[in-house]
Each structure stands twice: as structure tokens, then as C-alpha cells.
Structure 1
Amino acid sequence: MSAPTASPPAEVSPPAKGKLFDWKLLLGILGVCALLTMSLFTGVYDIFGGDNGWEMFEITRIPRTIALVLAGAAMAMSGLVMQLLTQNRFVEPTTAGTTEWAGLGLIVMMIVAPASGLVPRMIGAVVAAFIGTMIFFLFLRRVSLSSSLIVPIVGIMLGAVVGSITTYLALATDMLQSLGVWFAGSFTSVLRGQYEVLWIVAAVAVAVFLVADRFTVAGLGEDVATNVGLNYTRLIFLGTGLIAIATGVVTVVVGNLPFIGLIVPNIVSMFRGDDLRSNLPWVCLLGIAIVTVCDLIGRTIIAPFEVPVSLILGVVGAVVFIALLLRSRRHA
């Protein structure tokens, strides 16, 4: 009897790729444009009949709307990349402590260099966010957790510790009020000349799109990524750096935008799978749409006053987070 023939190793197929552009995406773009148009013409100040109305339009409304686009897309995209790299659908900058680390870097810069401008504070937030996110990733690689549901709980706990340190530093240096203003998560203070650094996240989005296929393969695990010739550790560093830049910039300019990175990628993946490149336009569009809708609600619900967009996002995100947890338990 002849010896058994060794079978070739099984190949791991990458996730199926969806079309990058189609008529559905065009409808989504048109819908988001309609929301942004509403944002441009929503507000207390009468830009048509008021004195210097169009000047106010250029100073406040246009920058605010651009900030909605960049911040919403950045946080949704950060959540998508983070979920791929951690292989966990409940991870995003809010549940991984990245936002809290960015806040720690911000308050440290405010203490060390109180006269520093927006860019030095942004650099401090980005560096701290990178360090904190790497700590979270290293923790996941070294500790075996019995359930994926524990991962965001660990991240929230780490974030709470870092947030407590930040609050203590703010109290000790009489900067608690300034910290509260920075972390309000509101677009009220976005004006011409104070939001332009947000354009950095557009470059981050381009970088994510260029390496999207590598991130998608990395999302299949270290063994698979290594077998196809990718440097997994380098991809983790690159992804962490891009997440840190996006989160740090948004935190400094706008503040905390909770749960956007959690809600959006999960909704998109339910309908389109896990290919990052084809999902990225949808993730950015849905992130922009959710942030814009929440901002419009915040501007009109108790007009002429405003509710911070982070408050509305927190309520909506918490409900969706619980729904995702229950859905995961049912499918377990």
C-alpha cells in the first residue's frame, strides 16, 4: 500500500471585496450633502437679514460644517481600523482609552507650556494617544481573555484610570474648567482660524485607504499576516500611529466624540462585510451623517442654547453598544 500523500496547506481566503463605488454610495453622498446644507443654514444668527450675515456665515457656519465632516469621518475611520487590528468589534478610541490618553497629553502640555498654541497641544495629545493605544494593544497580546466582551471593559477601566489622573492634574493646577471646555465635545467654538489643523485627518484617511488591504489581512491575525509576507508588528505601529493622530487632533479641536468609532463600523460591516478598502467610504459617510444629525439636534432642541454633541452621541452610542452586546450574546 502506497504511503499517504501529504495534502497542501489550506489557503486562507481574504474577505470578499465589495464594489468601491456604486449608485448606493452616490445616494449616500447626496444624503450627507443634504444634511451638511442643513447645517450651513441652521443657527440663531440670521445670515440673510442680520448685519454682516455672510461674514458670520464664512467665519462660523462654513468652518463648523467642515469640522463636522472631518471629525465624523476621522473618528468612524479610527474605530474601523482599531476593530480590524484588535479583531474585536467592541473596540474604538472611547472604549480603548485612546481619548482619555489624548486628554492626558493635552493637560500635560497646558501645564508645561501654558502659553502654547493649538499645534503643540495637538502634538502632546497625539503622542499620549499613541502611547496609550500601544499599551492597550500590548495588553491584549500578552493577556488571554476568555471573552471578546471583556476587551472593551478592560479598555474602559484603563481609560477611567487615565481620566482620573487627568482630572487630578487639572484640579491641582486649577485647570479643571479649561479641561471641561476642551472635553465638552461641541462644535460651538469651531471658528475660522481655529479648526484648520483638522485637515490633517484628511491625510490620515488617504493613508488608511492606501494601506487598507494590508490592514484587512492583519485583521485575520498575526499568523495569516506573517504567512503572506506582511510585517505584522510594523502594521500595528502604523495603524496605532494613524489612530493616535486622528484621535488627538479631533480631541484638541472638538473634544470627545464618544461611540462613533463603535457604532459606524458595526453597522457597515453588517451589510458589507469586513473589507476595509470598500467599506471606508461608507464608514466615513455614516460617521459624518451621525455627527451632523446629532449636532443639528443639539443646536435646535433648546434653541437659542446648544446641547453638546457629545451628550447626544453618548446617549445614542450607549443604546447601540448595549444592543450590540445583546446581539453578540444571542449569536454566541
Structure 2
Amino acid sequence: MTKLAAAILAVLALAGISLFIGVSDVSLPALLSTAPGDRPMQVLLISRIPRTLALILAGMAMAITGTIMQMLARNQFVEPSTAGTVESASMGILVVTIFAPGMPLIGKMLVASAFALAGTAIFMRILRQIPLRSVLMVPLVGIMLGGIIASVTSFFAYRYDLLQTLGAWTLGDFSGVLRGRYELLWLAAGLTGIAFFVADRFTVAGMGEDFTTNLGLNYRRVMALGLSIVAMVTAVVVVTVGAIPFLGLIVPNLVSMAMGDNVRRSLPWIAVTGAAFVLTCDIVGRLVRFPYEIPIGTVFGVVGSGIFLYLLLGRRTRLG
């Protein structure tokens, strides 16, 4: 517990650093020497604090979502960006933008959730048809499915002159987060809290339908609950800040390598590590070309793909 408390303090330290990075002068001397209505305090309250909270909430939510998918699919290389879930959510937002552009944000989130749930269900259905559930084949299938969905989405985005808008959804970027535009992420936090309390059921469901039924659980209900949480969290994050690739894949694997497979014990660490990863990548993206900013989706794409390859090659070496 002491180590976890130290990790939480480290995340809070990263959050404090994040608050004071930016073009506007929001240093402690500037805050102490100005009135509450002056620019430094307004920038802090309207932009910096909401952005930092969004980073923490998105990091925690996507990391735990990846854990849920790995338990349900029984594969350590599955997460929303390698299962077609993110691409399906983007397609849902595109459909709303074309046919109902004035729909409130909550409505866009619900439509994106429905599309994300459908895409994830298709992925799980395809997995059932694969005779040999190779560990390396499963994420490959998900990436191919996501590529197909993304191609269809890009085609219609091109036809309706929405490619630039589509790019904003598919690339995680927290620069536009302001007060009043990130609060949906608290819903994602609530859903991940539910996932924590029913994590044991997801672990049992991942062992197969027969095993789950023998223990007295309704396999289909547990799977439906897990996939619904994955879909809704993914949709909320994509609608609010865009996609963050590989986050739900690398964080659970790194925590598992350090702590083992005890899900109940690992989930708090997964949440804290996910928040720390997102905060760190965001800080790096804001400092590399200061005062310009590199979107966190780009930074995490580079870091995450490198760690993903390391995990794949390490797994292949152990299998060999």
C-alpha cells in the first residue's frame, strides 16, 4: 500500500507540473500577484485544471478498458485500438456528423458507443471462428478489422469533406480541452469504477462459457456488461479528446510483468500507471517544440508502438 501511495503522489506531482506548462504565464508568482479575475487565474481554472483532469481520467479509463478486453478475449495483446473498437466509435461520430450535426455531445457519445459495441462484438464473433487461437494472430485480426472499418469511414469522410474532422477524432489531442468540454470523462471514471467491483466476474468469463456457467454466473450477461463498459468508455474518450493508441495494451502488460496476474490487486496500479503514462507523454509533447505542441496521440503512438513490438518479440522469444 505504501508503494501505491508513492505512485499516486508521483502522479500528483506530474499533474502539478502539467498545470504550469504552457504559453500563458501561469506560474506561482503570477497567480499570487494577480486578482482571481485576472488572466493567469482564468487560464488555470478554464484550461489548465480541466486539461490535467482530462489527462488523468482518460489515462485511467483507457488502461482499465484494455485490461477488461484482455480478460474477455483471453489475449494480452488486445485493447480498443487493436480490436476495431476505436475505429467503430469514429464511424459512429461520422454518421452523427453527417446526418445529425446539431446533436448534443451526450447523443454523439451514445451513438459512438453503439457503433463501438457493434464493432467489438464483431471482433469477438470473429475470434470464435478462429480454430487456433494464436496469441499473435488475435491482435492481427483486430488490426485488420479496424483497418477495414477505418477505410470505410475515411471514404465517406472524403465524400462529405470531413477528412480534417475525422483526423481530429482519430488523433488524441488535449489542447482543446476546456471547462465544460471534458466532463463526460467523469462518466468514463464511473464506468471504470464499476469494472473494478466486477473484475472477478470478467476474469471468470475469460475462462470460457462452460467454466463460467459451472460457477453459477450468466456468461452472456457478464460478457455484455464488459463489452458495454469497453464501448462506452472508448466512445467517451474518442468524443472528448480523440484516440490514444496502445495505452490499454502496454499498461496492463507492464503492470502484469511487475505484479503478476492478480487482477484485483493490479487494477489500482493499472489505473495509476495509465494516468502517469498519459501525463508524461502530454508533458513531453508540450515541451519538445515549445511553444508549439505535439498531440499526445502522436507521442504515445511512437512510445506505445515501440513497447508493443518489445512485448511481441519478447513473447515470440519465450514461445521459441
Question: TM-score interval w.r.t. the shorter chain?
Answer: over 0.9
CA contact (8 A) 1:215 1:276 kept: no
Q: Which residue of 2 aligns with 1:27?
A: 6
In 2: Cα distance, 1:47 partner to 1:318 partner: 34
1:230 Cα deviation from its structure 2 partner = 1.3
The Cα offsets for residues 250-279 of structure 1, whole Å up to 9 and x where unpaired, read as 000000100000000001111222232221
- 1:140–1:146 distance in 2 versus 1, CA, 3 Å: closer
TM-score if structure 2 supplies the norm length? Answer: 0.95
Q: Equivalent residue for 1:44?
A: 23
Superposed CA deviations along residues 277-324 of structure 1, whole A, max 9, x for unmatched, are 221110000000000000000111101110000001111111111111
Which residue is equivalent to 1:62?
49
Residues 180-227 of structure 1, C-alpha deviations (whole Å, 9 max, x = no match): 122221100000011111110111011101111111222233332222
State the one-letter code of the partner of 1:177.
Answer: Q
Structure 2, unmatched stretches of 5+, are: none
SS in 2 for 1:94: helix
Aligned residue in 2 for 1:107: 94
**Counterpart Cα distance in 2 of 1:119 and 1:71:** 17
Give the letter for the 1:30 counterpart.
Answer: L
Aligned mates of 1:219, 1:146 — CA distance in 2: 13
2:149 aligned partner, one-letter code: V
Q: Which residue of 1 aligns with 2:40?
A: 53
Q: Which moved more, 1:271-280 or 1:284-293?
A: 271-280
Structure 2 match to 1:83: 70
Alignment of 1:5-16 (within 5 A): none
CA RMSD of aligned residues (A): 1.2
Partner amino acid for 2:117?
A: F
Q: What secondary structure is seen at the aligned counterpart in 1 of 2:4?
A: helix
Q: Are residues 1:166 and 2:153 paired? A: yes
Equivalent pair of 2:127/2:133 in contact (CA under 8 Å): no
Matched, 1:156 2:152: no
Alpha-carbon separation, structure 2, partners of 1:31 and 1:215: 30
Contact 2:59 2:278 in 1 (8 A): yes
Matched with 2:283 is: 296
Structure 2 counterpart SS, 1:194: coil
Corresponding position: 1:286 with 2:265 = no
Q: Distance in 2 between matches of 1:127 and 1:236?
A: 15
Deviation at 1:103, TM superposition (A): 0.2
Q: Does 1:315 align with 2:294?
A: no
Aligned-pair identity (%): 50
User: In 2, distance between residues paired with 1:243 and 1:260?
Assistant: 14
Within a 5 Å distance, the mapping from 1:160-309 to structure 2 comes to 160-309=147-296
1:96 and 2:75 are equivalent in the alignment: no
Q: Supply the AA of the counterpart residue of 1:163.
A: A
Would you tell me which structure has more helix in proportion to its own residues? 2
Q: Any unmatched runs of 5+ in structure 1?
A: 1-21
CA shift at 1:176, angstroms?
1.1
User: Structure 1 residue 237: deviation in Å?
Assistant: 0.7
Q: Are 2:116 and 2:234, in contact at CA under 8 Å, matched by a contact in 1? A: yes
Q: Secondary structure at the match of 1:302?
A: coil
Q: Which letter maps to 1:178?
A: T
Deviates more, 1:178-187 or 1:241-250: 178-187
Flag the structure with larger Rg: 1
Question: For residues 128-176 of structure 1, what are the alpha-carbon distances to aligned partners after superposition, in whole Å with 9 as ceiling and x for unaligned?
Answer: 0001001111111222235210110110000001001111111111111
The aligned counterpart of 1:144 is 131
Show CA shifts across 1:31-75 (max 9, x none): 111111111111111024485110111000000001001100111
Moved runs in structure 1, 4+ residues, more than 4 A? none
Q: Does the aligned pair in 2 maintain the 1:83–1:90 contact within 8 Å?
A: yes
Paired amino acid for 2:306 = V
Letter in 2 for 1:296: I
Aligned equivalents of 2:215, 2:223: Cα separation in 1? 16
> 2:279 and 2:48 mapped to 1: Cα distance?
13
Residue 5 of structure 1 is matched in structure 2 by none
Query: Among 97, 119, 123, which residue is 2:110 paired with?
Result: 123
Would you say how many aligned residue pairs link Structure 1 and Structure 2? 311
